[in-house]
A and B are shown apart, each in its own frame.
Chain A
Amino acid sequence: MIKLENVWKVYADGTEAVKDVSLEINEGEFCIFLGPSGCGKTTSLKMINRLIPLSRGKIYVNGVDTMKLNPNMLRRDIGYAIQNIGLFPHLTVEENIATVPRLKKWPKAKQRSRAEELLHLVGMDPATFIDRYPSELSGGQQQRIGVARCLGADPPILLMDEPFGAIDPITRTKLQDEFLKIQAKIKKTIAFVTHDIHEAIKMGDRIALMKNGELIQYTDPTTLLQQPKDKFVRDFVGADRTLKSLQLSRVRDVMRQPPLTVKVEEEPGQVKARMQQEGTTWSMLTDQDNHFLGWITSEDLDPTRSLREIMKPPTVTAVPETPLNDALSMMLSSTIGTLSVLDEDGRLLGVLSFDMIREVLGEQETGRKGG
């Protein structure tokens, strides 16, 4: 879909910003350009839509040499989002989102319906927001509009230059999660620049790690973490790369069935017997519809009190999509060290413990030594 072939960027003063970079991004792939500032990642990105002219080499989009295309036409078929967003302050949300459709002279009604559709996609109510101006939105909302705008005319390719870089960490995590969900639906080919290794591992199918204008390693996140090519890569991904690799797994991959679940109306004495039988000191309490209510430990069991009275309500819960590193920190903050995994309606799906995570880390350790 996108192919860089021996691409160079040399400025008039002799600075070599990008040196002989070759890589290919396949259709539907989420490719991250990662590296410290000044490594040439943004320059590489901007050469794809010709915002920066390339000095040597070739860039193909859909098999066509980009130098053979009119740059404005090329750009209208490639979505573009940047860190500073750059929404047009004098235009409404609708007009901002429909920038490229307007350039492409879509009918007015189609522009509006597309803007509504995209507002839905980025989780904003069209009726509330479509006629507002950017200055009436929060930073996070503006960034959502920035994402919606780059999807305006439904381009197959998106170029994103640190689109979540200027946002507070909590909103950033939220936007990242939402964007991953959106990408799962729309399957665009994405080139995404970041200097944040966590963001790269979380978002990317493949990571192009750059240094001083050179492409050092181009591979999937797991390989980058487990088989760093040289000292630079090892240093860049960080000494805690074992922990970081937890980010690559989700709770759903590791969770197990709880050893014992009991229903809320069961007799305490009966429950005690079942726990002894199963050889466990705790069990999980649910209602008729399997909604998780809380934890029951054997020392709290009291024949005179109902299960509902003695249960400990959960302080934190996870969903199957929670990354393992987040799950680990949740466990560390909870008293029990075991995490309940629930669906969106609060129904019990499984359970996660330290031991299960330790097993995953052990497997990765052997895998790395083996490889």
Chain B
Amino acid sequence: MSKTIILIILLVLLLGVTVWMTALGEVGIFKMAPPGKVLRSTLRHVQIVGAAEALAILVGIPVGFFATRRALRYVSPVLVGIANVGQTIPTLAFIGIAGAVLGMGYQAAVVALFIYAMLPIIRNTYAGIRSVDPAVIEAARGMGMSRWQVTWKVELPLARPVIIAGIRTSTVVNVGTAAVAGMIGAGGLGELIVTGIAVRVMQLTIQGAAPTAALAIILDAALGGLEEAVTPRGLKILKEKQWQQ
């Protein structure tokens, strides 16, 4: 409850600051972004994050899943290793490299963000599936479930909370990375921030930064809710018990 209140206060503050900055109209010789521009930038930002995240989920979950299969057991350490090491690259450095390799613009940014966002999803999917008790899978096979039935009815439901947690991390990071991608001409709220920094107008930077923060908070809360909703009841009880011990 108190968590929700803090969240709402924070959102109101951030949006209030955004409106305030926009209402300034101009600072010295610099014009602030008009309301329409802020809105378009926000939508653009959501679009970049959405496109990159959708691709990351579509590719990341299967990659993470197949990395757990016996047939790929020689490849999977490499895959998971890349996913782990890749995540340690700082956002700014990653976008810098991506800009140099992929070029500038919206599409280059989406590709870069997609690769970066995919890493936590691969890692969590892999970890989630691997964490399923082998005895549970043996029992499932022994009772006559086909491989696909084991995957759909046992492995994925049990790994689901961990996979969603990966998507949540990935999305929140993605909102921030997309802001940095403003540097390589992706558009979105990053553009306001980068411009503000370039011309040293703090108000302009805040005009882009506040809605970016609000976006990250909203998405985190929404995906947190989803994570809670898709966790099977039996697993919640199990977790509670483990906490008590």
Contacts and interface: CB of A to CB of B under 8 A. Distances in A.
B144 A100 contact: yes
A10 interface: no
Given A73-B144, A75-B144, A134 B133 contact: no
B138 A51 contact: yes
Contacts of B138: 51, 82, 84, 86
B105 interface: no
A85 interface: yes
Contacts of A85: 135, 139
A86 B158 contact: no
B225 interface: no
A215 to B, nearest CB: 23
Interface string A149-178: 110100000010000000000000000000
A186 interface: no
Nearest to A76: B144
Contacts of B158: 89-90
Given A72-B144, A100-B143, A103-B149, A136 B136 contact: no
Interface residues of A, number: 31
B143 A84 contact: no
Nearest to B139: A86
Given A84-B133, A135-B237, A90 B157 contact: yes
Q: Is the interface of A mostly helix, strand, loop or mixed?
A: mixed
B83 to A, nearest CB: 26
Q: Which of A99, A150, A152, A159 is the most central at the interface, judged by chain B CB atoms within 10 Å of its CB?
A: A99
Contact of A90 (B137, B146, B235): B235
Contacts of B238: 89, 133, 135
Interface residues of B, number: 24
A82 B234 contact: no
A93 to B, nearest CB: 10
Nearest to B141: A51
Contacts of B3: none
Given A72-B144, A72-B145, A75-B144, A90 B139 contact: no
A80 interface: yes
Interface in B208-245: 232-235, 237-238, 241
Interface string B66-108: 0000000000000000000000000000000000000000000
A352 B142 CA distance: 46
B234 A75 contact: no
Nearest to B133: A86
Residue in A80, A84, A86, A87 with the greatest tally of chain B CB atoms within 10 Å: A86
B154 interface: yes
Nearest to A75: B144
Contacts of B136: 86-89
A222 interface: no
A92 B232 CA distance: 10
B140 interface: yes
Contacts of B235: 89-90, 135
A301 interface: no
B237 A133 contact: yes
B142 A51 contact: yes
B143 A75 contact: yes
Interface in B116-161: 133, 135-146, 149, 154, 157-158
A18 B78 CA distance: 36
A286 interface: no
A82 B142 contact: yes
Contacts of A273: none
B234 A135 contact: yes
Contacts of A76: 143-144
B234 A91 contact: yes
B133 A49 contact: no
A103 B144 contact: yes
B142 A99 contact: no
24 contacts: A49-B142, A51-B138, A72-B145, A76-B143, A76-B144, A80-B143, A82-B138, A83-B135, A86-B138, A86-B139, A86-B140, A88-B136, A88-B234, A89-B136, A89-B158, A89-B232, A89-B238, A90-B232, A92-B234, A100-B143, A100-B144, A136-B237, A149-B139, A159-B142
